[in-house]
Chains A and B, each alone.
Chain A
Amino acid sequence: MNRELNMDKSQVAKGVRIERTFERFSLGQRWEHLLILTSVGALILTGLPQKYRAAAWSQLILSTPERVDLIRQLHHIAAVVLLLVVFYHLGHNLYLLLKRELPGDIFPVKEDFRDGWGMIKYLFFLSEDKPVYWKYNFEQKFTYWFVFLTLGAMGVTGIIVWFPIQVTQFLPGAIIPAAKLAHSTEAIVLTIYIVIWHVYHVHIERLNLSMFTGRLSEAEMQENHTLEYKRMIMEKENIPESQETKIEAD
């Protein structure tokens, strides 16, 4: 029987193995993810019925003109929340990067292409070993930048179709139908990507809840972030050993 308990070091009894966990995401990052998850979810759920207004299932939801107005308002509220999170994310992380307090692990490097090629070889049975990764593997970096660029495109095109009169005061009118097409198609692309790629990698391949708990177990670190794990062991003093330990009874 497994029990999870937070215990002081002094309470550790005989026959109990200490399993270290490692911080992966800060509380702020987890909040950002939660807000993005809920606002993007709300945007997709309120956006799809608008995109497919002529469909019967959409008309079940948008059953009165008031409902159409309501769902547009909800879409706009979620958009504002997302916009604020994105601006906070950009401002906060740029500030940290400039102050050299953020290592910049998320930026793609040459190694990621090598890892990608290594992964392809592994998937085609040309190699028996998966590549070993630092804090973020190339899949995770790809997800971050894919979502980053998508949200950028959705934000820009969304604002254009939200304020078409104001936008055409200084931009050509022809961008409005183009923005509308891009906004509604990009939304589908993002939905496809999240449902297939992201859901597989964090729920099916292995259940990775570090984005909610903030931590990974030592075994998970060793297997999936081998290089990062070794680095952290080397800089042992950085590992907050005494706190947040997970104890498993035999």
Chain B
Amino acid sequence: MAMHEGLNIRFLKLLGYFSLLIVVFILFSLPTRLVGAETKKQETEHYCLSCHSNPDLSMELPDGETLSLFISPETIENSTHSQEGIECEACHTEIKGYPHPEIEYKSKRELSRAYYLSCRKCHSANYEKTLDSIHAKAAEAGNLDAPVCTDCHGAHSIQAFDQPRAIVSKTCGRCHEDVFDQYIESIHGGALIGENNPDVPLCTDCHGVHNIQDPGSPQFHSSTPDLCAGCHADPELMQKYGLSSNVYNLYELSWHGVDVSVYKAMWPTIRHESAVCTDCHGIHNIRSAQDPKSMVYPDNLLQTCQKCHKDASPNWTSAWTGHNEISLERTPYLFYVKQFYITFSRLVLWLSIAYVGLQLLRSIVNRVRRSIA
């Protein structure tokens, strides 16, 4: 009996240890997930901010610039990274504690350009894209002001990039001031800034985002009609604004359009002289065709044509049929020529076939008759 009880106690003890192990295991595994949300409270951030929340904290760089070391707690706590639980050391990898290692950068710019490499750790796809951009090429050519990730996205203040939408174009406008000034005067920019319109293109809709290409290249020029067609050939979208979605199709049939499509398909790297959308309508300063300031407004059209057709006279502008189907009202000459040839070419074709066919038949019949006779 005693032996039996002793066994029983040993079994219970074992069970006790086992359940303790399970409890410990549960405590170590499951709760970490719960505590994980809690770690977003950013312990390191608090630790760093204990010094860096001092607005007067700064240091002098070797080139004499003063680098402020102040980080506004409010800014960083509202940043996307902080709210996702990404800690200071995720980017500031070389800093493990206090005191910090010596800063080797000579200037603020050098520091920014070095630090943005940290973005690559997580955002490698977009980082790779930037290497192919005109900004990267400008930097390679020695322009250290060419933007890096943080110049557009911010560093400690990093936020969702497109809320509100206009922020994208405003960001580009910080450096490209002239272009931005034209853009906000344009039909696209005006609607973006004024109405927060969701459809009008931002800078990045036409130029791309991270791998922004040289807009002065022949490739960019040749592919401009396709770029515009992305919206202007979309019937649903154009109907919303009372615009024709046929402009691109009709352009493709025009002298300019055929030339451009051939160059695009066959010789994309060779610059051609035929006009694309932006050559007549303007680029960043594009306006409604009904706007008296528009480059294609009737009063301004001749001047626009003369950019390429130097000696064009006032009659010249009516050679352009517009992005319109052939119609009696708009293009009577073209209309009558088309109507004439619809009838005439068929008449010639079928009369020739019929006449020659009948003659052939008659001569065969004659031959057969002769051979019988």
Residue ranges of A at the interface with B (Cβ–Cβ < 8 Å): 53-54, 59, 62-65, 122-125, 164-165, 168-178, 180-182, 185-186, 188-189, 192-193, 196-197, 200, 204-205
B261 on the A face (CB < 8 A)? yes
B317 at the interface (CB under 8 A from A): yes
A177-B331 contact, Cβ under 8 Å, with A189-B344, A197-B356: yes
Contact A174 B352 (CB under 8 A): no
**Could you show 17 A-B contacts with beta carbons less than 8 Å apart?**
A53-B258, A53-B262, A54-B262, A123-B355, A123-B361, A172-B318, A174-B319, A177-B321, A178-B333, A178-B337, A181-B337, A185-B341, A189-B345, A192-B345, A193-B352, A197-B356, A205-B359
List B contacts of A175 (CB < 8 A).
Answer: 319, 333
Which of A170, A174, A200 interacts with B318 by CB under 8 Å? A174
Tell which of B272, B312, B338, B352 touches A181, judged by Cβ atoms closer than 8 Å: B338
**A169 nearest in chain B by CB position:** B313
B255 at the interface (CB under 8 A from A): yes
CA distance A189 to B344 in the complex (A): 8
- Say yes or no: A181 contacts B334, CB within 8 Å: yes
A124: chain B residues at CB < 8 Å are: 358
Interface flag for B238 (CB, 8 Å): no
Tell yes or no: B26 within 8 A of A by CB.
Answer: no
Contact residues of B between 319 and 373, Cβ < 8 Å to A: 319-321, 331-334, 336-338, 341, 344-345, 348-349, 352-353, 355-356, 358-363, 365
A165, B312: Cβ atoms under 8 Å?
A: yes
Decide if B163 is an interface residue (CB 8 Å cutoff).
no
Interchain CB contact under 8 A, A188 and B319:
no
Interface size class of B (residues with CB under 8 A): 35 or more
B2 within 8 A of A: no
Dominant SS among interface residues on chain B = helix
B349/A192 in contact, CB under 8 A: yes
Verify A188–B345 contact, CB threshold 8 A.
Answer: yes
Q: A64-B267, A173-B319 are in contact. Are A178 and B334 (CB under 8 A)?
A: yes
**Residue contact A171 to B315, C-beta cutoff 8 Å:** yes
Q: Which residue of B has the minimal Cβ distance to A197? A: B352
Contact B341 A181 (CB under 8 A): yes
Main secondary structure of the interface of A (DSSP, over half): helix
Residue B74, interface by CB 8 Å: no
**B217 smallest CB distance to A (angstroms):** 17
Could you tell me the distance in whole angstroms from the C-beta of B372 to the nearest C-beta in chain A?
Answer: 15
Contacts known (A123-B362, A165-B309, A168-B313); A193 close to B334, Cβ less than 8 A = no
Contact B266 A196 (CB under 8 A): no
Please indicate which of the listed interface residues B267, B320, B334 has the most CB atoms of chain A within 10 Å of its own CB: B334
Residues of B within 8 A of A189 (CB): 341, 344-345, 348-349
Bound Cα distance from A73 to B92, whole angstroms:
67
Shortest Cβ distance from B261 into chain A, in angstroms?
6
Task: State which of A54, A65, A172, A173 has its C-beta within 8 Å of the C-beta of B267.
Answer: A65
A205 to B, closest residue via Cβ? B359
Q: Could you tell me the distance between the alpha carbons of A175 and B355 in the complex, rounded to whole angstroms?
A: 34
B311 at the A/B interface (Cβ < 8 Å)?
A: yes
Known A-B contacts A123-B359, A169-B313; the reply to A174 vs B332 at CB < 8 A is yes
**Chain B positions 297 through 318: 1 when the CB is less than 8 Å from some CB of chain A, otherwise 0:** 0000000000001011101111
Cβ–Cβ < 8 Å partners of A173 in chain B: 315-320
- How far is A64 from B353 in the complex, measured between Cα atoms in Å? 38
Taking CB atoms, residues of chain B closer than 8 Å to A174 are 318-319, 331-334
C-alpha spacing A204/B341, complex, angstroms = 28
Which chain A residues lie closer than 8 Å to B332 at the CB level?
Answer: 174
The docked-state distance in angstroms from the alpha carbon of A196 to that of B355 is 10
CB distance B267 to A122 under 8 Å?
A: no
Q: Give the nearest-CB partner of A51 in chain B.
A: B258
Among all A-B residue pairs, the 6 with the closest Cβ atoms: A173-B319, A173-B318, A178-B333, A196-B352, A176-B319, A168-B315
List the A side residues contacting B363 at CB < 8 Å. Answer: 205
Q: Distance (Å) between the CB of A142 and the closest chain B CB?
A: 10
Give 4 A-B pairs besides A53-B258, A189-B345 with Cβ atoms closer than 8 angstroms: A59-B265, A65-B267, A177-B333, A177-B334
Contact at A193–B267, with CB atoms within 8 Å? Answer: no
Whole-angstrom CA separation of A171 from B332 in the bound complex: 15
B338 smallest CB distance to A (angstroms): 6
B348 with A192: CB separation less than 8 A: yes
* Chain B residues closer than 8 Å to A192, beta-carbon distance: 345, 348-349, 352
